[in-house]
């Protein structure tokens, strides 16, 4: 373990988070960990100095939980990607761009997100939505094993056969609550060739596009994932198809259509990340799942509320897993709606308009720092998760569930 204090030349680089609202947080020290024994040593150090602990993979936590004023465990050195017998072994510090590149060398991939710098561990432990999800399920649905360092320093392997309760909890409860995951093993899937699509509409067509999208996208064929974004200037339906791309009623609303076919899976993912522009604005967000379509009058009110809106489809393989089969409980939802703006009041106003029609459930990877009802993340799995938390982290070293 390499322990880095505030006087180290790399300190400010290592403590920097992806989200600007949390970049002022200054850890007392940063522990750079290269293997499970380093993690165990870091946990011993934290206990000896009465320091709270936070874990850092990608550093994209919406609630700022990937930093701390205590000891920050930097797992970025744990970034290996290897394949054997169709299974992918991936270090907890790997970022998605490296994962896709490494697996594509073996003509394999896993269903996961698009952000190239997002950490694989945090994404997986909170569920994991992505462009192949409606075909193959959540990222955590492909998880078959993990190595975990517990609060007392013990290193355990977990799977359906070993530490099964812990393994169940790791699949969708949210990252860093039960121990420090240092590596993950996935059942990989073939790396496909795909078509990327974007349907763009003028802003004044937003109500019609939303109405058509929410009736179509959650029920579209599994090989197609179409998200929806509403900004101040335009409306976009975008995503990827591994097969035919038929847009139903959305095609009749006269969009400008852009298709890019024949893309390898890494090329497809890069095509989304290439559009990312460095933006250091503080943007606030709130989100919820919805099990039924929004009424037309609610859509009209949302469009007047002044937030950017992001709709992500569920359905398909996401919803063919029983709600209690993994810790991820949200298996009957139709879509996820996110409200985003630099104006926190506008976000709250927009969210309150849609909330009466929501399921009241939240995606663990989009945590709300102001939420106190943790059942919203876990539904009927909450009580079992509390028992597992008590068994594996009775002193609450890793925070989270209470």
Query: Higher-confidence residue: 88 or 176?
Result: 88
pLDDT at 82: 98
When divided into structural domains, the chain yields a total of 3
Q: Residue 145 pairs with which residues in a beta bridge?
A: 185
- Using 50, 70 and 90 to split pLDDT, how confident is the model at 273? confident
Q: Which tens digits make up the pLDDT trace of 206-264?
A: 999 999 999 999 999 999 999 999 999 999 999 999 989 999 999 999 999 999 999 99
If DSSP codes are grouped into helix, strand and coil, which group holds residue 185?
A: strand
Of the candidates 74, 89, 122, which is a domain's last residue? 74
Kindly report which listed range (6-10, 38-42, 316-320) carries the lowest average pLDDT score. Answer: 6-10
Question: CA–CA separation, 273 vs 254, rounded Å?
Answer: 27
pLDDT at 45: 97
Can you give the residue range of the structural domain that contains 16?
2-74
**Do 250 and 343 have their domain in common?**
yes
Question: CA–CA separation, 308 vs 350, rounded Å?
Answer: 9
Q: Which tens digits make up the pLDDT trace of 166-203?
A: 999 999 999 889 999 999 999 999 999 999 999 999 99
Q: Are strands 29-32 and 308-313 parallel, antiparallel or unpaired?
A: unpaired
**Do 201 and 303 have their domain in common?**
yes
**Do 107 and 150 have their domain in common?**
yes
Average pLDDT (47-75) is 93
**Percent residues over pLDDT 90 in the chain:** 88
- Using 50, 70 and 90 to split pLDDT, how confident is the model at 372? confident
Give whole-number Cα distances, 387 to 24, 151, 163, 311, in Å: 35, 16, 14, 34
Check whether 74 has a pLDDT greater than 90: yes
H helix or E strand, kind and range, residue 389:
helix 382-392
Q: What share of the chain is helix, strand, coil (3-state, %, to 5)?
A: 30, 25, 40
**Do 70 and 129 have their domain in common?**
no
Q: Domain of 200: which CATH number?
A: 3.40.462.20
**Percent residues over pLDDT 70 in the chain:** 99
In the chain, count H helices and then E strands. Answer: 12, 18
**Do 206 and 99 have their domain in common?**
no
Q: Domain of 163: which CATH number?
A: 3.30.465.10
Check whether 370 has a pLDDT greater than 90: no
Of the candidates 175, 190, 205, which is a domain's last residue? 190
Q: Which tens digits make up the pLDDT trace of 289-337?
A: 999 999 999 999 999 999 999 999 999 999 999 999 999 999 999 999 9
pLDDT at 280: 76
Average pLDDT (67-92) is 97
Q: Where are the beta strands (DSSP E) in 256-369?
A: 256-264, 284-290, 308-313, 335-341
Question: CA–CA separation, 33 vs 153, rounded Å?
Answer: 14
């Amino acid at each position: 373990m390499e322990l880095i204090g505030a006087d180290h030349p790399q300190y400010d680089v290592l403590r920097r988070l992806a989200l600007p609202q949390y970049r002022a947080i200054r850890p007392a020290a940063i522990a750079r960990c290269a293997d499970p024994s380093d993690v165990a040593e870091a946990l011993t150090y934290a206990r000896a100095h009465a320091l709270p602990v936070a874990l850092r993979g990608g550093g994209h936590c919406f609630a700022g939980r990937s930093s701390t004023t205590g000891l920050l465990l930097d797992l970025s050195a744990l970034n290996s990607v290897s394949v054997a017998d169709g299974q992918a072994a991936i270090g907890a510090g790997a970022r998605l761009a490296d994962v896709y590149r490494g697996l594509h060398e073996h003509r394999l991939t896993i269903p996961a997100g698009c952000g190239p710098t997002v950490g694989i561990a945090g994404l997986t432990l909170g569920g994991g939505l992505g462009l192949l999800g409606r075909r193959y399920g959540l990222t955590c649905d492909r998880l078959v094993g993990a190595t975990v360092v517990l609060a007392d320093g013990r290193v355990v392997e977990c799977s359906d056969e070993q530490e099964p309760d812990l393994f169940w909890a790791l699949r969708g409860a949210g990252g860093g609550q039960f121990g420090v995951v240092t590596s993950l093993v996935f059942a990989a899937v073939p790396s496909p060739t795909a078509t990327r699509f974007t349907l763009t509409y003028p802003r004044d067509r937003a109500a019609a596009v939303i109405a058509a999208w929410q009736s179509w996208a959650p029920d579209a064929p599994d090989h197609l994932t179409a998200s929806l974004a509403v900004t101040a200037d335009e409306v976009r339906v975008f995503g990827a198809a591994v097969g035919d791309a038929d847009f139903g009623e959305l095609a009749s609303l006269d969009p400008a259509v852009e298709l890019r076919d024949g893309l390898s899976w890494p090329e497809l993912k890069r095509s989304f990340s290439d559009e990312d522009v460095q933006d250091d604005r503080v943007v606030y967000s709130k989100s919820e799942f919805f099990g039924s379509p929004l009424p037309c009058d609610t859509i009209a009110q949302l469009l007047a509320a002044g937030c950017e809106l992001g709709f992500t489809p569920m359905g398909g393989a996401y919803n063919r897993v029983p709600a209690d089969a993994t810790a991820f409980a949200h298996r009957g939802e139709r879509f996820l709606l996110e409200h985003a703006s630099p104006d926190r009041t506008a976000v709250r106003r927009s969210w309150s308009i849609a909330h009466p029609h929501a399921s009241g459930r939240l995606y663990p990877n989009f945590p709300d720092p102001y939420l106190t009802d943790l059942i919203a993340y876990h539904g009927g799995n909450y009580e079992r998760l509390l028992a597992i938390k008590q068994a594996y982290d009775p002193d609450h070293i890793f925070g989270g569930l209470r």
